Amino acid sequence: MLVRCEDGAAAYRPGDVVPVASEGRDVVVMSDLHLGEGAARDHTYASREKFFADDSFARLLTHLRTGGGRHLLVLNGDVVDFLRVGARPLGDRERNEWASHLQRIGVRFDERDLTSLTLLERHYGFGTSEPKSVWKLLDVIRGHEHFFDALADWLAGGNDVVVTKGNHDLEWFWRGVRDTLRVKLADSLARRTGQATEAVLERVVLPRIRFVDHALLVDGTFYIEHGHQYDPFSRVVGPALLPGDRELNLPMGSFFNRYILNKVELSYPFTDNIRPRQNVLPMLVRDHFPSAVKLLAYHLPAFLVTVPKGRVLGIYWRPLVLGLAIALPFCVVAFSASHEISAIVEQLQQPSHAGVLDSLLGSLAKSTALLVASYALARLTAYFQIEEPDSLWTDARALMGKEPAYRQVTLGHTHNPEQRDHEGRWFFNTGTWVPIIETDSAQVREDRTYTYLHVPSDDGRLATGRLLRWNDDAGRSEPALIVRRQT
């Protein structure tokens, strides 16, 4: 049955724009939910978790379903954050459950897939092979049960779902990962309704959920894509798989997330949630310098040895400049201090100690000035460090220029909600549902999360959409608060 549902599907050729018909349905688009390991058995969360809105998401879908009509929900990339899953099976019971599930969905594996770990996997979690990617999704579903129950109920209510890939959930490439979602949604409905899983899978789930690799075009006018391909740090370069066809070809940013940020967030949760992003590294250097140096010194080698050779300088020249900006003044300070200390020791050995205090104060002044200069340089060059773009408006406008039929374009990826009218054609960025910490105001940015795009159907044709925000306290959707910034 699962094999039949994939037959003839051309959704996994990179670059395809898959046509989809709205069929009189309203279209709802959201992105960048970043579901990780979720709640553990003791109801606590791993420090890398980003999504805490399972019940809020369920209430939004219930609100949409009870509003009447049928809907097409597009989960537009980075919905599941496979990069943030570091857990592994706990003992034989979980390993046996994993093996049983792989057999159920027809994924080939051997004992080494279940038991062998590379040195990097011992420290950083599973890689990206199909069996291990399936395990990561199983772990996410266990930790976000209410979210996936709500998604199953959405399908049972006659609504549809399209899932696209982002840079954090490239694992949707594997059919075993896609089939895991299908089967688990059917299991959810069967468990709560008393129906047979096979019947639910065939009648409800398989006809109503679809996966798209790159982008989709609804009714020939509404273009939907995650947007990571416009970000040099996050785009996939080359084929989907590495030589050997066992591991995914990840972009540069995925290595940075897995080998650096994941470890930083063990001690400093929500580091990746900080905006503006250029404040992250200066903040770590300023507030947690010894720990930041220790983390980088310990985990940077693992990061460097795993990044494909020949592609480092093309992306990472910016952090190298930043590192030099920080390191050079410190080297000068150390060199200067060693000479000053030697001079003070020599003076103390003289019969007269006159001038020792002046020398000491002069040394401290020079060192302080150099340290201040180091921080200033770090703050300045941080604006050129690794960061995703704040807006994809320029790329969306280029898309509209090349394709006159596109009346509406939506992208995600940046976590910054936007809506712009361009000569009667619209661009939307659907924002995110993860907490955003604004360091400029030292507040959690609640007014710009829980955002989604609603494009209504008007007599069978798509009308102009609007960016909305789910107000969970009031139980209603409201216009998203978007303030234009002068640039």
- DSSP readout, 35-99? B-S-B-TTS-B-TT-----HHHHHHHHHHHHHTSS-EEEEEES-SB-GGG------HHHHHHHHH
Whether 322 contacts 382, CB under 8 Å: yes
> Given the DSSP bridges, would you call strands 451-455 and 26-30 parallel, antiparallel or unpaired?
antiparallel
pLDDT of residue 104 exceeding 80, the answer is yes
Q: Give the CA distances from residue 201 to residues 73, 185, 451, in Å, rounded to whole numbers and listed in that order.
A: 19, 8, 30
Q: What pLDDT is stored for residue 134 in this prediction?
A: 97
What is the residue type of 311? Answer: R
How far apart are the C-alpha atoms of 40 and 208, rounded to whole Å? 30
Residue indicated by tokens 């699962």: 2
Give the pLDDT confidence of 77-90 residue by residue, as tens digits: 999 999 999 888 98
Name all domains of the chain by residue range, CATH numbers in brackets.
2-241+409-479 (3.60.21), 268-384 (no CATH)
Give the pLDDT confidence of 237-253 residue by residue, as tens digits: 888 888 888 999 988 77
Q: pTM of the full predicted structure? A: 0.80
Whether 225 contacts 25, CB under 8 Å: no
How far apart are the C-alpha atoms of 46 and 44, rounded to whole Å? 7
Residue-level length of the chain: 487
How far apart are the C-alpha atoms of 309 and 386, rounded to whole Å? 18
- DSSP readout, 108-165? ---HHHHH---HHHHHH---SSHHHHHHHHHHHHHHTHHHHHHHHHHHHTT-EEEEE-
- Listed in sequence order, the DSSP H helices in 157-232 are 175-193, 197-200
> Given the DSSP bridges, would you call strands 425-429 and 160-164 parallel, antiparallel or unpaired?
unpaired
Give the pLDDT confidence of 116-130 residue by residue, as tens digits: 888 778 878 899 999
Mean pLDDT computed over 267-276: 55
Mean pLDDT computed over 352-366: 57
Which residue did the predictor score with more confidence, 95 or 276?
Answer: 95
Give the pLDDT confidence of 391-434 residue by residue, as tens digits: 999 999 999 999 999 999 999 999 989 999 999 999 999 999 98
Q: What pLDDT is stored for residue 394 in this prediction?
A: 94
